[in-house]
């Protein structure tokens, strides 16, 4: 396991702040003699440090797939599987699969398929809770489309949530990418929507817990 580069500065600042709190906690103990309060605050500092560091963890994973597989782009839970009208790029019916990422999940994001990046667009917006129906269209978000070697296109979208306030991505239109390569990161709770061609075979169901690079969302038939 490694720490994601997006976390270096946040972790450093957090450790400095938490260290200051712990120093203050020590002097408070020297002044009051309240051992129970010193222990309680010390535990709080350790828990906060652990939560911040674990949020930016990147586990080592091998992505095993076939050319027709559409792999999960993120860790989380499947909250939506439905046929919808995709209005930004395709402007037609697509199968939408949505993955909710809690603050406890790994937050690196991975390409669901290999191919040519046809479209990249960042949208500023609101910060509704990630499971809100309008979060897909009203929240801060970034949209990507990859064209598979078969000619089929998959759209996927990073969506900020009520806590997530920064979307990071590293691919551009015209890039050739591979399944399972990291394309971005979302800080502190979020959602990813994937839009698939009608007729794609879906391999997950609502409430499934999925893993980025490891779980097969669907496959082309």
Any catalytic annotation for residue 190? yes
Are 124 and 141 contacting, i.e. CB atoms less than 8 angstroms apart?
no
Name the strand (E) or helix (H) holding 22. Answer: helix 8-32
Beta-bridged to residue 185, according to DSSP, are 108, 168
Tokens of 220: 């082309």
Residue 4's nearest CA partner among 157, 179, 185 is 185
Are 113 and 100 contacting, i.e. CB atoms less than 8 angstroms apart?
no
Report the relative pairing of strands 201-202 and 2-3 from DSSP bridges: unpaired
CA distance 162 to 21: 27
Residue 203's nearest CA partner among 214, 218, 215 is 218
Catalytic residue among 114, 135, 136, 190: 190
Beta-bridged to residue 95, according to DSSP, are 83, 196
What positions carry a catalytic annotation? 190
């Amino acid at each position: 396991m490694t720490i994601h580069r997006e976390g270096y500065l946040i972790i450093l600042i957090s450790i400095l702040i938490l260290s200051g709190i712990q120093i203050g906690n020590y002097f408070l103990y020297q002044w009051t003699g309240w051992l129970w309060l010193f222990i309680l605050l010390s535990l709080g500092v350790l828990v906060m440090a652990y939560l911040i560091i674990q949020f930016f963890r990147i586990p080592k994973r091998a992505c095993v797939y076939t050319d027709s597989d559409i792999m999960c782009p993120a860790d989380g839970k499947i909250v939506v599987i439905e046929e919808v009208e995709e209005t930004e790029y395709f402007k037609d019916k697509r199968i939408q699969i949505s993955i909710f990422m809690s603050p406890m999940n790994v937050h690196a994001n991975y390409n669901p398929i290999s191919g040519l990046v046809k479209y990249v667009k960042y949208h500023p917006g609101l910060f509704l809770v990630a499971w809100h129906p309008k979060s897909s269209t009203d929240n801060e978000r970034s949209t990507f489309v990859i064209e598979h070697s078969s000619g089929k296109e998959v759209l996927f979208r990073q969506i900020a949530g009520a806590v997530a306030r920064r979307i990071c991505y590293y691919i551009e239109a015209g890039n050739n990418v591979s399944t399972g390569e990291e394309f971005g990161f979302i800080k502190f709770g979020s959602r990813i929507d994937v839009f698939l061609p009608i007729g794609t075979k879906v391999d997950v169901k609502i409430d499934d817990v999925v893993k980025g690079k490891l779980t097969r969302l669907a496959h082309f038939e």
